[in-house]
Amino acid sequence: MALLKRTADSENPVAEQDAVELLKNDHRTVEKLFDEFEKMTGGRKSSVAEEICNALKIHAQIEEEIFYPAARDALKKEDVDLIDEADVEHATIKGLVGRIGSVGESDAHYDALVTVLGEYVKHHVKEEENELFPKLRRSKMNLDAVGAALAWRKKELEGNPARRSS
């Protein structure tokens, strides 16, 4: 993988870290943001929803660019359907993120859209953490190298929103 090699060769390499732990940390961050959104009323709700959507865009992008291809290579043939399901879940989540971004807080369904997004994300996280991640821990995947590539790409995307896919 070119990105894994580029990360290892870069002048400021990202320290190795476990890919699964990095992704789980992202999951916890988004869960906290959803909890915060649910407790809020009025003004700041839209800024929290925007934080959720931005975090999900970056998370999905690093998974799709780096993590899922590496997982596909590492998993047994019979387990690759987990990646296919994750791709479909990502498409649904991206659709909701796009809709939330386009309607704004004044839309009658705004809170419902964010709530449904939270439910989809919760389902997706549960499948990743309970099914996919344990299988990858038992696989030949180099979780530290993949984690470094994820961290490097995440940092790049956080610093340059124009590089994020929608």
Domain ranges of the chain: 16-163
For residue 7, what pLDDT is reported? 45
CA dist 146 to 42, 64, 138, Å?
Answer: 40, 12, 15
One of 1.20.1510, 1.20.120, 1.10.3470, 2.40.50 is the CATH number of 16-163, namely: 1.20.120
Please list the ranges in the chain whose pLDDT falls under 70.
1-15, 161-166
For residue 166, what pLDDT is reported? 57
For residue 160, what pLDDT is reported? 78
Q: What is the pTM of this model?
A: 0.87
For residue 6, what pLDDT is reported? 46
Place of tokens 């340059």: 160
For residue 165, what pLDDT is reported? 67
For residue 9, what pLDDT is reported? 46
Nearest-angstrom CA–CA distance, 88 and 44 = 31
